[in-house]
Amino acid sequence: MRYYLSIEKNVESFESYRAMWNERGADGIIVGSMTEGIAKAIEIEKSKTDELYFIDIIADEINFLPQLKILSEETIAPILVATYHFNEEQHLDVLNNGADFYAQLSQTPERNIDGVLAVINSIRQRARKPNPPSNSIIHHGIILAPSYRNTVFAGNHKIELTRREFDILHYLMLNHGKVLTYKQIYNRVWGSEYEDASPDVLRNAISRLREKLRIEPGSTEYIKTVLEVGYSFPERS
């Protein structure tokens, strides 16, 4: 069974939300103090059949901060703190003591549930990942992420590239510090039939790419020319 644990004192509000969570496949458990909440969280997580889906602390009538860190150490379930009386000054304390989320409750129950689900899904998606090496490449203030196809970020600037410009930069950054020949770049970006093409096509593409990366006067020249050989994305500027 999948449960959510609600640490609050408003039983009437809990029952109305519980019905909506039941429709989403989670049954609610209410406790009136942090001590009870910690005990119940441990009990559920020790169960071989039950899953603690998330912990919802309604902070309006609960003094939750003193034991929040202990609760976060005793459970792997996301901890969400919500209140109708949001306190901006308390925000960092709540997050630094183990909560995954701290926000003001909306007067619309469905909106509150959607917000909870968004946080839970984000946390659980990250938790399921086996932390593979990132595909993003970062050098000299340029971020190239394959998931942002044809887009790179330089400082605070978003730069749109053509497919070939992106592929050229990707190949150069993957091999930063190495000199890539015209033939290698043609083969990788255009295909093997272009291996013996005139260097002028590549030179023009590099020129356009450099211009886009030159986001302000005096910007670093990211792509270096190696005369009669090819290009490189150097280790250092």
- For each of the domains in the chain, give its residue range(s) and CATH number, in order of start: 2-128 (3.40.50.2300), 137-232 (1.10.10.10)
pLDDT, residue 216, reads 66
pLDDT, residue 217, reads 63
CA 192 → CA 31, 153, 226, distances in Å? Answer: 67, 30, 22
Q: Identify residue 153 by its one-letter amino acid code.
A: F
Report the sign of the C-alpha dihedral through residues 66, 71, 74, 79, in that order.
Answer: negative
pLDDT, residue 134, reads 59
pLDDT, residue 173, reads 92
pLDDT, residue 225, reads 93
pLDDT, residue 112, reads 87
Angle between helices 34-46 and 65-74 (to 10 degrees): 0
Residues 14, 28 contacting (CB under 8 angstroms): yes
How crowded is residue 112: how many other Cβ atoms within 10 Å of its Cβ? 19
Q: With a cut of 50, which residues of the chain have pLDDT below it?
A: 237
Phi, psi of 159 (to 5 degrees): -120, 125
- pLDDT tens digits for 31-82? 999 989 999 999 998 888 889 999 999 988 888 988 999 999 999 899 999 8
pLDDT, residue 47, reads 87
